[in-house]
Structure 1
Amino acid sequence: MKKILFALALATIGATESMGQSKPQEVNFTESFCDSTLRIDYIFSGNATTQRISLDKLNMSPRWYGKRKHLFQLPVEGNGQITVRKHGTSEVIYRNSFSTLFQEWQSYDEAKNMDKAFENVFLIPMPKEKVDVTVDLRNNRHEVTGTMTHTVDPSDILIRHTGFKNRTPYTTIQQAADTTRCIHIAYVAEGYKKDEMNVFVDDAKIATEALFEHEPFKSMRNRFNIVAVESPSVDSGTSEPSKGIWRNTALGSHFDTFYSDRYLTTLNLKSLHDVLAGTPYEHIIVLVNTKEYGGGGILNSYNLSMTHHPMYKQVVVHEFGHS
């Protein structure tokens, strides 16, 4: 099936070119963006039939660790998109896709009877000039079901600066051959107390070796830069609501997401990105200090995995595939 879809995509490109339609011109990163990250915090809310998008905060941190080429292209659509345009024009200079726990929640019975709100955080390169940012939520037929556009002025004095000092300490697990042209992965410690960080780093190394047992990662290993971000928790482990266990952890993760006992997530995405501010990251793998089986992964957001269950290696790779 994948080969068929790829062949169809190539045929479509060929047909477009043969009809005289030119391909969009590549966006020059350095003309439009600075080497820093604009983190945009949103609140998505609603119920099974309504979706509302609200802007929460704008944050800037040093360096940009995402893509610098093919800035408006989407390899995967997801069920949402964030699009950046030159202010007052239709010219797209950056686009990325995502999925959200909010939209997943909308498919459950609970959403038929009540409204809820969910944090969502997206990263874009810091624009040099004023831009218009659009967030679209889409259904499984790729129809837009919710949208919001707002203007970002990079000179806005209320853009919060994060990660310029007091960064969370991290250990480099693997350095890419070229750190300016690579994929940046950050492991984040969840449910590890300060004196357990050596265990966390060892768990991150196990996950790394598990990931690179598989293609296409194995043959491209030197293109990945990987760090382990040592965010301490007050308590060890994670919360297990079905057992009446609630623990004080860095990210407030828990099992029983949407009442599914194995579904391990965190809803605190702002806390997650606060921990990561100023560290080299694009993709996020949260390692949870528990022997109970569970995990979760959300496209271009994050994934979580337990670390001390016999299925740890398989689950962390599986969830990374989702995210």
Structure 2
Amino acid sequence: MRLLICLLMAAMATGTTYAATPRTLRVDIQHSGDAKVERYALERVVLEPLAWAGNPARPLDDSNRGAQKFEVADVASGKLLYSRGYSTVFGEWYTTAEGEGAQRSFQESLRFPMPDKPVKLTIFARDAANAFAPSWSMVIDPASLEIERVVLPLPTAPIAIRHSGDPAYKVDLLLLGDGYTVEEMGKFEARARALTAHLFSVSPFKERASDFNVWALAVPVPESGISRPSSGVQRASSTGARYDVFGLERYLLTLDNRAFRELAQHAPYDVVEIVVNSETYGGGGIFGQFSTVAADNTFRDHLFVHEFGHHFAGLADEYYTSPVAYASMDKPAVEPWEPNVTALLDPSGPKWSHGASSPVPLPTPWPKAEFEARQRDVQARRAKLRAEQRPETEMDALLNASQADTDALFAHAQYRDVVGAFQGANYSATGYYRPQLQCMMFTRAEAFCEVCRNAIEQIIDLYSAGQPRVP
């Protein structure tokens, strides 16, 4: 009820009249298997309490983003009603060493407007050629007695951090707090407002700020902070967020999809960033699922926007010198679907040739050997700091010095500001190429490259196009 009042008050303030929309249907599934086998199973179907916040003018996703895709089609006519690309935690896990010899199950959710007739839900996965192929399907009858229709209320309500209009025609970003006690609720709201302000200082979010609503929601936990098993820290969590996922100390995710969805359903949302009460460097982002940020870390602004780039736009990591939990591919077999990395150097140019500078040699020269030598030293010192459990201030100093050193190295590079194809990306020193020398997806730089900016705008349009923009 408090959320409804909040929305109505915002509508009155902006002169907006919201049209009636269907509620949100959520299908919770289990995604299991290993490096060789992949399975899906239904866990439950939930009718969420709020109206669908998605864009009715763009129900079909034509971006070709994601390791997976789901489609919703009318059973009687076969008409395609809704589709979205996405990626999964399972899709990262099965490339790890554990995925080679064990089987695990991960929770996932697929959300779409509540249909008024039976629909067929189909999940597609990438095949050997990186094309989508059907993997699993089921029929959902909206009249089914198996749909859970009762939702327990929360003791708190979402905070409207930024309201630009009808959720149906805006990107609705939900900042979901975790690790905050009752006494720290004010701290969470202040951090949520500060992170939001930073997001809209970065292009292209800066220029497209009127296409976003931002909400903040948190329920208190008994003890401040979140779990970090490698340091012996264990905490009760509202979203399941923790460090050390897949054995990587900085990788901050939740493997408890149900926990965070049970909270998120009380706010309008297209995308979710989990804001955790921690100063330890860390974050993570899964396209179409969620992203995370350590809200008290010195690099929180960079982490917030970088991880949101993964979650919101399906951007690939362009770095390759830091350790990661999953396998890299120095000799990729197919062209990656991510918009900002490529494995193919066609004579006519990379897949972002429409934005490439001309004439630019391919591959595009850059001080690669010197950069790698410096990064080897940084990573060795970084590992030593973590092994000795040194104060976070020492890690901050190392990373700040490393970025300053990289900026100085690149300052006079011949092709510093052009769009080309720079070898080294996607956790691989040789197998992939990135569009520009510097980007927020490559180092702790302050800006996205041109190709990443364009890719982000395409997804903003997917959620916001269809209604005149506010000047």
Q: Same fold (TM over 0.5)?
A: yes
Q: Matches of 2:118 and 2:245 in 1, distance apart?
A: 39
Asked if the contact 1:133/1:151 (under 8 Å) is kept, the reply is yes
The equivalences for 1:234-253 within 5 A come to: 234-253=222-241
Code of the residue aligned with 1:41 in structure 2: it is D
Deviations 1:85-144 (A, max 9, x none): 110554211100110010111111111111000000121111111100001222573245
- Structure 1 gaps of 5+ residues are 1-29
Correspondences of 1:1-323 after superposition (within 5 Å)? 35-61=22-48, 62-139=50-127, 141-143=129-131, 147-163=135-151, 165-166=153-154, 168-323=156-311
Q: Distance in 2 between matches of 1:141 and 1:89?
A: 30
- TM-superposed deviation, 1:204: 0.4
Query: 2:109 & 2:128 partners in 1: Cα distance?
Result: 22
- Amino acid paired to 1:189: G
Q: CA deviation at 1:242?
A: 1.1
Q: Pick closer, same or farther for the CA change 1:237–1:76 going to 2, 3 Å.
A: farther
Once residues 100 and 293 of structure 2 are traced to their aligned partners in structure 1, the CA distance between those partners, rounded to angstroms, is 30
8 Å CA contact 1:256, 1:262 repeated in 2: yes
Q: Kindly indicate whether the alpha-carbon contact (under 8 Å) linking 1:189 and 1:228 is maintained by their aligned counterparts in 2.
A: yes
* Total equivalences in the alignment: 292
Letter in 1 for 2:45: L
Q: Distance in 2 between matches of 1:239 and 1:146?
A: 37
Counterpart amino acid of residue 216 in structure 1 = P
Question: Cα 1:78–1:180, aligned 2, differ >3 Å: closer, same or farther?
Answer: closer
- Give the conservation status (yes or no) of the 8 Å contact 2:181–2:222: yes
What amino acid sits opposite 2:289 in the alignment? S
Shift of 1:315: 0.6
State the structure with more CA Rg. Answer: 2
Q: Residue by residue, what CA displacement relative to the aligned partner does 1:200-239 show, whole Å, maximum 9, x if unpaired?
A: 0011011101110112211221221111102222221111
Distance (Å, rounded) in 1 between the aligned partners of 2:23 and 2:128: 33
**What amino acid maps onto 1:155 in structure 2?**
A
Give the Cα separation in 2 of the matches to 1:242 and 1:73. 40
1:162 Cα deviation from its structure 2 partner: 4.8
Would the alpha carbon gap of residues 106 and 219 (structure 1) be closer, same or farther in structure 2, given more than 3 Å must change? same
Q: Secondary structure at the match of 1:160?
A: coil
In 2, the alpha carbon distance for the partners of 1:195 and 1:274 equals: 23
Q: Deviations over 1:264-312 (max 9, x none)?
A: 0000111101012231111101000000000000001100000111100
Check 1:139–1:321 CA distance in 2 against 1; reply closer, same or farther (3 A cut).
farther
Moved more, 228-237 or 262-271: 228-237
Q: 1:144 to 1:220 in 2, by over 3 A?
A: closer
Question: What TM-score does the superposition give when structure 2 sets the normalisation length?
Answer: 0.59
Q: Does the 8 A contact of 1:34 with 1:127 survive in 2? A: no
Q: Match for residue 464 of structure 2?
A: none
- Find the aligned partners of 1:71 and 1:195 in 2 and give their Cα distance: 41
Runs of 4+ deviating beyond 3 Å: 143-146, 162-168, 177-180
Q: 5+ unaligned residues in a row in structure 2: which ranges? A: 1-18, 312-471
Match of 2:242, SS? coil
Kindly state the Cα deviation for residue 198 of structure 1 after the two structures are TM-superposed. Answer: 0.4
Kept after mapping to 1: 8 A contact 2:61/2:85: no
Q: Which one has a larger percent strand, Structure 1 or Structure 2?
A: 1
Change (3 A) 1:177 1:70: closer
Note the C-alpha offset of 1:152. 0.6
What's the CA shift string for 1:246-271, capped at 9, x where partnerless? 11111221111111111000001111
Describe the superposition over 1:167-200 as per-residue Cα deviations: whole angstroms up to 9, x where unpaired: 6422111111444421111100111112211000
Normalising by structure 1, report the TM-score: 0.86
Distance 1:94 1:145, change over 3 A: closer
**Shift in Å at residue 83 of structure 1?**
0.4
CA contact (8 A) 1:183 1:224 kept: yes
Against the structure 1 CA distance between its residues 146 and 241, is the aligned structure 2 distance closer, same or farther, given a 3 Å change threshold?
farther
**Over the residues paired in the alignment, what is the CA RMSD in angstroms?**
1.9
Please state whether the residue corresponding to 1:127 is helix, strand or coil.
Answer: coil
The answer to whether the 8 Å contact 1:167/1:277 transfers is no
Judge conservation of contact 2:240–2:260 (CA < 8 Å) in 1.
no
Alpha-carbon contact 1:289-1:307 (below 8 Å) kept = yes
Worse-matched range after superposition: 145-154 or 126-135: 145-154
- The amino acid across from 1:202 in the alignment is A
Q: Tell me how far apart the structure 1 counterparts of residues 62 and 269 of structure 2 sit (CA, whole Å).
A: 19
**Distance in 1 (alpha carbons) for counterparts of 2:166 and 2:114:** 22
Q: State the distance in 2 between where 1:279 and 1:167 align.
A: 13
